[in-house]
Structure 1
Amino acid sequence: MSDTPVIRLAHTSQLEEDELDGIRQLLDEAFDGDFGEEDFEHALGGMHALAYGPDGELLAHGSVVQRRVLHLGRALRCGYAEAVAVRPGARRRGLGGAVMAALEEVVARAYALGALSASDEGAALYESRGWTVWGGRIGALSPDGPVRLAEEEGTTYVWVPEGGALPDSAGELWFDWRDGDVL
């Protein structure tokens, strides 16, 4: 049997309850218990890339959900990567890259750009895949009006599909609002 992971792409609506439970367990393990219910909620409603080992064990996960982002007065459809994680015992085997490749394919086919908020541990993976740190201001359109998210500056990455144009990175990105961590 091959060690090559099986990657499955599925919309949240196609996942069974036990699959969602398995994803949640993987995220709890991968993030050492620091992955809250709102974080999990943010990962739902879009496409999931699931990496399974030869024995059928879920080893890695990532999802991409639609967000709206304002840039230079234009609302862009953004594929936002969420809950990218690899089970601790399966790291450094290319699973994160395989999950990201599947998510990037979704972004390339459906969105103007991809975005994500990277942890220090995850930044090298995204950079190696051509994601770049956004150089301008980051903010959100809250119920009370625009709110700058200075703590997200330097950790928010963008990716533009081949043939697309990278927005002016000196400009501002204003993301739609959501409960919990906005980015």
Structure 2
Amino acid sequence: MTEVWTAHTADLDEATIKAARALLWNVFEDDMTEHDWEHCLGGIHALVWEGDELIGHASVIQRRLLHDGRALRAGYVEAVAVRGDRRRRGIAAAMMAELEGVIRRAYDLGALGASDEGAALYEARGWQRWQGPTFALAPTGIQRTADEDGFIFVLPAEAPLDLTGSLTCDWRDGDAW
């Protein structure tokens, strides 16, 4: 397998940014939006190249999650994608291993919103499905995000967690989670 390279968004050159954007639109097709693209910027990217072609991307950004009366610094995983013809070769797992190291060293916990297809990968890596209700701290106040229930996963790090309690994310345009 090719090596995973990590870098902050600020350290990526224009060609790498363009390659990452193109890969994400190719992998997620109609499910990828401009908001989704923006959500994966501003943190650490894990990138896998095969020659001069980007075949894997994932990123971790900082968010605030509210749980049990505490504001937790969360490493939130975004845009985990592997080119279709390179899947099932350990690329996503290798990228996640890099990002999980970042999360364990820098955050109170890791979090992510999983698709049905991605859930098995995260569970196999020790991520735990959030069992309680989810919310978002919107400009108009706290809003329930019931459609996200069962799709949010956490990677415990420093903060004690009650997986059956409520979990509230900070606000952002597009999908809250």
- TM-score, reference length from structure 1: 0.94
Per-residue deviation, 1:58: 1.0
Could you say which residue in structure 2 is the equivalent of 1:123?
Answer: 119
Seen in structure 2, the aligned counterparts of structure 1 residues 142 and 165 have a Cα distance that, compared at 3 Å, is closer
- Equivalent residue letter for 1:172: S
Root-mean-square deviation (CA, aligned residues, Å) is 1.0
Distance in 2 between residues matched to 1:131 and 1:157, nearest whole Å: 6
Q: 1:175 aligns with which of 166, 169, 173?
A: 169
- Equivalent residue letter for 1:92: R
Structure 1 runs of 4+ aligned residues shifted over 4 Å read none
Q: 2:142 aligns with which of 141, 146, 165?
A: 146
Distance in 1 between residues matched to 2:64 and 2:159, nearest whole Å: 17
CA shift digits 1:23-42 (9 cap, x unpaired): 00110111124211100000
- Equivalent residue letter for 2:47: L
Could you say which residue in structure 2 is the equivalent of 1:47?
Answer: 44
Aligned residue for 2:126, secondary structure, equals coil
Could you say which residue in structure 2 is the equivalent of 1:94?
Answer: 90
Q: 1:10 aligns with which of 4, 7, 11?
A: 7
Per-residue deviation, 1:165: 4.9
CA shift digits 1:41-66 (9 cap, x unpaired): 0000000000112x232111100000
Name the % identity.
Answer: 53
- Equivalent residue letter for 2:85: G
Matched pairs, number: 177
Per-residue deviation, 1:102: 0.6
Unaligned runs of 5+ in 2: none
Unaligned runs of 5+ in 1: none
Aligned residue for 2:29, secondary structure, equals coil
Distance in 1 between residues matched to 2:4 and 2:163, nearest whole Å: 32
- TM-score, reference length from structure 2: 0.97
- Equivalent residue letter for 1:170: T
Aligned residue for 2:18, secondary structure, equals helix
